[in-house]
Structure 1
Amino acid sequence: MAWDVFSFIGTAAFAISGAIVAMEEEYDIFGVYILGMVTAFGGGAVRNVLIGVPVSVLWDQQFLFFVASILITIIFFFSRYLLSHWNRWGNYFDAIGLAAFAIQGAMLAISLNMSIYAVMVAAVLTGAGGGVIRDLLAGRKPLVFKRDIYAVWAALAGLIVGLGLFKSDLALYALLVMTAGLRIFSLVFQWKLPNGKIH
């Protein structure tokens, strides 16, 4: 049950996030659909390639494609009435998608009996991959490469799931809230990672 819930939440959040970014960049309706879909499904596709899951599995998610299509359509036609602050809402949905997909990616790696390192990588790729592809296609610097704490939260969620600290569905939902909350707090309070410089 938790797997389906995280798939739904992550797909919905990232479809909206991608559509918002496309609207900010003033894409036409086709571009909005493409960026929304790539954001929603890109991270999972990259993860599947790297951990050996057939990419064709992606096309079996017809319901999620339908959900993403509906949400992208709503954003395109009604965003001016629904979202008064584009950037803030885009960040919120991105944080939710990051958390949901990070946990989902970790759960998949565990089901395949992979090492803790592979679980963390799967969490990061699933959680941050779609956002990276979205930002690159939109001509933006990916959030994962900025000093803002982003992929670290996905890795932390993967570590927690991989160590078996959160096993029940309820605990995993709590982890979703915690991970998304930490990402939002890092934006609000401008938490930064140290960066290296060559003088």
Structure 2
Amino acid sequence: MAWEVLSAIGTIAFAVSGAIIAMEEEYDIFGVYLLGVVTAFGGGAIRNLLIGVPVSALWEQEMMFQLALIAITVVFLFPHRLLGHWNRWGHFFDAIGLSAFAVQGAMYAVELELPVYAVVVAAVLTGSGGGMVRDILAGRKPLVLRAEIYAVWAAVAGLLIGFDIVRTDTLLYILFVTITVLRILSYTFKWRLPARKILSS
């Protein structure tokens, strides 16, 4: 049950974030739907490629595609009334999508009885893959590479699930909320990992 709920939450959240960015970039209606769908399902496609699951499995998620299309339609019809600007709501939906898909991706890998490191990779790719594809298609530097702590939270979810620390539905929902809050705190207070800049002579 938790897997299905988190899949739905992640799909809607990332579809909305993709649609918002598309409208920020002044894409036409086709571009809005395309970027929204790619954002919602890109992470799952990348994950499937790397863990050996046919990408065609995505096409079996008819309900998820319907949810994504409905969410994109609502955003396109009422962008200012419901969402305002990307800086206000976009990061929030992105945080929800990251968290939901990180937990869902880790659960998916556990179901396939993959080792812990594969569970972590599945969590990171499912949680951040769609956002990376979205940003690249929108001509932006991916959040996961430049912004406040991002994919690390997905990796934490993968570790907790991979080591069987979090398994019950209740704990999975608590983990989802926790990762979402941590991501929101990251961009609110500008938490960043250490970085080193190479200066050209």
Question: Normalised by the size of structure 2, how large is the TM-score?
Answer: 0.97
Aligned to 2:130: 130
Count how many residue pairs are aligned between Structure 1 and Structure 2.
Answer: 199
Distance 1:25 1:198 in 2: 31
Aligned to 2:13: 13
SS of equivalent residue, structure 2 residue 78? helix
Bigger shift: residues 85-94 or 120-129:
85-94
Segments ≥4 residues shifted beyond 4 Å: none
Aligned to 2:170: 170
- Equivalent pairs: percent with the same residue? 64
Task: Map 1:76-95 onto structure 2 (within 5 A).
Answer: 76-95=76-95
Contact residue 123 and residue 154 of structure 1 kept, 8 A: yes
Contact residue 157 and residue 179 of structure 1 kept, 8 A: yes
Distance 2:179 2:40 in 1: 18
Distance 1:113 1:70 in 2: 34
Distance 1:96 1:86 in 2: 14
Assess, with a 3 A threshold, how the Cα gap between structure 1 residues 147 and 76 changes in structure 2: closer, same or farther.
closer
The structural deviation recorded for 1:198 is 2.9
Distance 1:173 1:153 in 2: 15
Task: Map 1:1-199 onto structure 2 (within 5 A).
Answer: 1-199=1-199
Contact residue 8 and residue 64 of structure 1 kept, 8 A: yes
Cα deviation 1:85-138 (Å, max 9, x = unaligned): 322201000000000000011011111111111000000000000000000000
Distance 1:52 1:4 in 2: 21
Cα deviation 1:14-73 (Å, max 9, x = unaligned): 000100010111110000000000000000001001101111110001111011001101
Distance 2:70 2:147 in 1: 34
Alignment root-mean-square deviation, CA: 0.9
Letter in 2 for 1:149: I
Contact residue 147 and residue 194 of structure 1 kept, 8 A: no
Distance 2:173 2:65 in 1: 23
Bigger shift: residues 117-126 or 78-87:
78-87
The structural deviation recorded for 1:147 is 4.4
